[in-house]
Amino acid sequence: MRTVIFDLDGTLADTSGDLLAAANCCFRQMGLGDVLEHPKDAGLALRGARMMLSEGLKRVEQYDAAVVEEYFPVFIDVYRQSIDLHTVLYPGAMVAVKALKDAGYGVGICTNKPEDLADQLLRCLGVRDDFDSLIGADTLAVRKPDPEPLREAARRAGGDPAKTILIGDTDTDRNTSAAAGVPSILVTFGPSGQNMSALNPEGLLHDFEDLPEMVSRLIG
């Protein structure tokens, strides 16, 4: 079976608001106030908790790697408690997922979000059962851009890892697909959209309505 594997943050859903809010909660606990801004820092939010904490501390000239590690679990706890307050699925995302499944593709998710948080978010959004597989940052011993999480997501969706495609929004996704020897489609409507063409993916997605035809053209 051919499979279509999606990244989650910035690809299927705009999660930046809740991620930045959790980071700012950490900064407030440090006595620094709200350091990051939405939507200006939306792209930074998709780089993960440690990157947000590091960049925020650098901006106020208080960077300390030990502080980043100290507050990482604080971030996770805060984020878990308000994971879907501002998060929304991108328009047309689930219509495209249904169309792909109706066309016979297996559909899964491969994200660098911890698996339990990804599962929680998908359930809060009411779409967990629409995906045949879910691989998170800690599901395996490696994470993207290592190709194995993508391959495992394809396997768990009932597919052949050599006949899959990754839909994503960052250089991490582009590098993952390249390492796996399969094509990628990068979305242009996420926070990093303006930079996607420079990564030379096999496809650029401007609207989810176009995804089924693009997938069919690239992997059959």
Domain match, 160 and 210 both: yes
Which of 65, 81, 97 is the last residue in one of the domains? 81
Domain match, 74 and 99 both: no
Domain match, 10 and 21 both: no
Domain match, 125 and 155 both: yes
From the list 7, 9, 132, 173, the catalytic residue is: 7
pTM of the model as a whole: 0.96
Domain match, 105 and 27 both: no
Domain match, 70 and 94 both: no
Domain match, 45 and 100 both: no
Domain match, 7 and 26 both: no
The tens digit of pLDDT for each residue in 13-56 reads 999 999 999 999 999 999 999 999 999 999 999 899 999 999 99
Q: Output 194-197 pairs: Cβ under 8 A, ≥24 positions apart.
A: 196/169
CATH code of 135's domain: 3.40.50.1000
Domain range for 31 is: 16-81
Domain match, 98 and 204 both: yes
Which of 81, 103, 120 is the last residue in one of the domains? 81
Q: CA 61 → CA 42, 50, 56, 217, distances in Å?
A: 21, 16, 9, 49
The tens digit of pLDDT for each residue in 69-105 reads 999 999 999 999 999 999 999 999 999 999 999 999 9
pLDDT at 217 over 90: yes
Please name every residue paired with 204 in a beta bridge, in sequence order, or none if there are none.
186
Domain match, 22 and 127 both: no
Domain match, 94 and 182 both: yes
Which of 81, 100, 120 is the last residue in one of the domains? 81
Domain match, 185 and 105 both: yes
What pLDDT score does 195 carry?
A: 85
**What is the number of structural domains in the chain?**
2
**132: annotated active-site residue:** no
Report the C-alpha gap between 25 and 71 in whole angstroms.
10
